[in-house]
């Protein structure tokens, strides 16, 4: 514990984001890292608890508490406070091969269970992680470490999202020859084509991929296994790990769903990323458009921010659920993750640009209006959540609240129902969510393919366990 009174001496502090007026004009990252003084100050607030819930990574009554990958948070906090930055970074990389990404896009489950947060604001753990991650690259501490020898075993990893990259990293470091197959033109999965550049810079992602290549991992892109590549080609590998992302979006079943201008969120976000990568950011494909985003989660928020940068005249966001409370509810005690209302970066930008929060809660789409030329409007209705008689809350429309408003584009961001099924079908296997081995010998699964839609850190944890199962299967 670096400073015994640190949690009383210092308040929580995060880096100042670039103002909305400046950042909506570009696609650059707008949240910088803390400076050295800020990072040391936040590290000083860590209490080095007897039971550090922050890195516990447990599930309590169905809700996660603490870091899923067991980051050694109190250890590197103490080292940061003492100015021993390289040693702190070495502690970080022991548990997290994707720290560049989690320090930017992880919701920070660790902070939700920080003991300082029991009676105040938690330590800004993710900010410290970001500080260490950025410093490691700046100081040259991040270098390729190929294995000293190979064990002669080959593993194919299908999918290059966080699960695929983590498993490939683990297996490669242990001497396996690893080939990663990716259906898109660039590796990274949803980190590349699902998360906008201003949240996760693609040049940083590419730099990490280049590091993995230098360590001996082979990436084969533009290859959709089961479509572009026959599954029989996997027979030449000693083991295969399926790490496809949650590729099946939850659909909207209303009149007008198939009109031109109604799209799923991820293809829309992927198209925007491709424009950024190609240097086509001056184009404003949404100029003059009235955008309705259906879904109030992170992906919906990303759609709001992306539409704004592409020049939309108006953006609103529909959320069928009621808003979360401003502070922890009685049935949501510490150290469980706090389900509280937050206004994310895209919503803040919409407030600045349009003068109001883009979100409307307890509302759903009834129909989409238009013709073969495109969308002209959307009909909505407010809902109330009532008991259906079995103790389950269900949304019931309030007919008096039906209204129609103008729209030209509908973006469906209602989450995902699971991974694509064509690959398991082509392989004639079934995936068991209770274990990593599938019904077919030498085939394993991890990440969204096994568990369904989840977070980057959970994908990392799942992939590490799956990689260990493969290691045991091949080497005993």
Q: pLDDT tens digits, residue range 283-339? A: 999 999 999 999 999 999 999 999 999 999 999 999 999 999 999 999 899 999 999
Token pair of 107 as six digits: 């919701």
Tell me how far apart the alpha carbons of residues 376 and 381 are, in angstroms, rounded to a whole number.
Answer: 17
Tell me how far apart the alpha carbons of residues 83 and 75 are, in angstroms, rounded to a whole number.
Answer: 13
**Residue 219 pLDDT > 80:** yes
Evaluate whether 92 touches 129 at the Cβ level (below 8 Å). Answer: yes
**Residue 1 pLDDT > 80:** no
For 50-107, the DSSP string reads SS-GGGT-EEETTEEES-TT---HHHHHHHHHTT-HHHHHHHHHHH-TTHHHHHHH--
The confidence band for 62, taking pLDDT boundaries of 50, 70 and 90, is confident
Evaluate whether 82 touches 125 at the Cβ level (below 8 Å). Answer: no
Q: What is the mean pLDDT of residues 143-150?
A: 97
Tell me how far apart the alpha carbons of residues 122 and 110 are, in angstroms, rounded to a whole number.
Answer: 9
What structural domains does the chain harbor?
Answer: 6-139 (1.10.1060.10), 154-247+417-475 (3.50.50.60), 251-414 (3.50.50.60)
Q: What is the mean pLDDT of residues 376-390?
A: 95
CA 94, 97, 101, 102 torsion-angle sign: negative
Q: What percent of the chain has pLDDT over 70?
A: 100
Range of lowest pLDDT (56-65, 252-261, 319-328, 425-434): 56-65
Evaluate whether 300 touches 317 at the Cβ level (below 8 Å). Answer: yes
**Residue 354 pLDDT > 90:** yes
pLDDT given for residue 224 in this prediction = 97
CA torsion, ordered 249, 253, 259, 263, to nearest 10 deg: -20
Tell me how far apart the alpha carbons of residues 125 and 45 are, in angstroms, rounded to a whole number.
Answer: 10
Which residues sit opposite 248 in a β-bridge?
418
pLDDT given for residue 56 in this prediction = 85
pLDDT given for residue 320 in this prediction = 97
Report which DSSP code applies to 229.
B
Tell me how far apart the alpha carbons of residues 381 and 355 are, in angstroms, rounded to a whole number.
Answer: 23
Report which DSSP code applies to 146.
-
Characterize the bridge pairing of strands 177-181 and 218-220: parallel
The confidence band for 24, taking pLDDT boundaries of 50, 70 and 90, is very high
The confidence band for 102, taking pLDDT boundaries of 50, 70 and 90, is very high
**pLDDT tens across 193-206, in order?**
999 999 999 999 99
pLDDT given for residue 2 in this prediction = 74
Confidence (pTM): 0.96
Query: Given phi > 0 = left and psi -120 to 50 = alpha, else beta, which region is 168?
Result: alpha
What does pLDDT average to over the chain?
96
What Å distances lie between residue 118 and 34, 73, 215, 312, CA to CA?
A: 24, 17, 42, 41
pLDDT given for residue 50 in this prediction = 85
In whole angstroms, what separates CA 342 from the centre of its chain?
A: 17
Range of lowest pLDDT (28-32, 306-310, 317-321, 416-420): 416-420
Evaluate whether 66 touches 335 at the Cβ level (below 8 Å). Answer: yes
**Residue 20 pLDDT > 90:** yes
The confidence band for 44, taking pLDDT boundaries of 50, 70 and 90, is very high
Instruction: Count Cα neighbours of 219 within 13 Å in the Cβ-side half-sphere.
Output: 25
Evaluate whether 116 touches 11 at the Cβ level (below 8 Å). Answer: no
Q: What percent of the chain has pLDDT over 90?
A: 92
Tell me how far apart the alpha carbons of residues 352 and 117 are, in angstroms, rounded to a whole number.
Answer: 30
């Amino acid at each position: 514990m670096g400073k015994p009174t640190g949690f009383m001496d210092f308040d929580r502090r995060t880096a100042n984001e670039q103002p909305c007026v400046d950042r909506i004009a570009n696609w650059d990252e707008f949240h910088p890292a803390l400076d050295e003084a800020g990072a040391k100050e936040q590290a000083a607030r860590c209490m080095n608890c007897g039971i550090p819930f922050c890195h516990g990574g447990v599930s309590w009554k169905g809700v996660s508490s603490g870091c899923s990958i067991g980051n050694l948070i109190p250890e590197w906090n103490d080292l940061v406070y003492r100015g021993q930055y390289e040693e702190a970074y070495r502690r970080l990389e022991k548990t997290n091969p994707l720290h560049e990404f989690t320090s930017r896009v992880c919701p920070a489950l660790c902070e939700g269970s920080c003991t300082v947060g029991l009676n105040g604001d938690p330590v800004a753990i993710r900010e410290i992680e970001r500080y260490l991650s950025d410093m490691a690259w700046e100081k040259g501490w991040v270098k390729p470490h190929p294995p000293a020898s190979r064990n002669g075993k080959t593993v194919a990893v299908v999918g290059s999202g966080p699960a695929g990259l983590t498993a490939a990293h683990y297996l490669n470091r242990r001497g396996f020859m690893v080939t990663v197959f990716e259906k898109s033109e660039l590796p990274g999965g949803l980190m590349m084509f699902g998360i906008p550049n201003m949240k996760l810079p693609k040049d940083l992602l590419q730099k990490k991929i280049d590091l993995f290549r230098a360590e001996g991992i082979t990436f084969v892109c533009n290859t959709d296994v089961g479509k572009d590549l026959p599954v029989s080609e996997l027979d030449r590998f000693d083991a295969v790990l399926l790490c496809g992302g949650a590729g099946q979006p939850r659909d909207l079943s209303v009149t007008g769903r198939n009109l031109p201008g109604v799209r799923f969120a991820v293809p829309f976000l992927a198209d925007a990323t491709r424009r950024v990568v190609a240097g086509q950011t001056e184009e404003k494909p949404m100029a003059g458009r009235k955008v309705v985003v259906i879904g109030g989660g992170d992906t919906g928020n990303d759609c709001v921010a992306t539409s704004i940068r592409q020049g939309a005249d108006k953006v609103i966001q529909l959320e069928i659920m009621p808003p979360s409370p401003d502070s922890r509810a009685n049935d949501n005690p510490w150290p469980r993750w706090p389900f509280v209302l937050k206004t994310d970066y895209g919503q803040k930008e919409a407030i600045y640009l349009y003068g109001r929060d883009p979100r409307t809660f307890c509302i759903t789409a009834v129909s989409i209006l238009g013709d073969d030329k495109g969308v002209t409007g959307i009909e909505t209705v407010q809902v109330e959540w009532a008991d259906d008689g079995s103790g389950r809350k269900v949304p019931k429309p309030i007919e008096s609240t039906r209204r129609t408003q103008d729209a030209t584009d509908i973006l469906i961001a209602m989450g995902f129902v699971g991974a694509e099924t064509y690959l398991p079908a082509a392989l004639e296997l079934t995936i068991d969510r209770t274990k990593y081995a599938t019904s077919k010998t030498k085939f394993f699964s991890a990440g969204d393919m096994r568990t369904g839609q989840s977070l980057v850190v959970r994908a990392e944890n799942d992939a590490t366990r799956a990689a260990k199962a493969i290691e045991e299967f091949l080497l005993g």
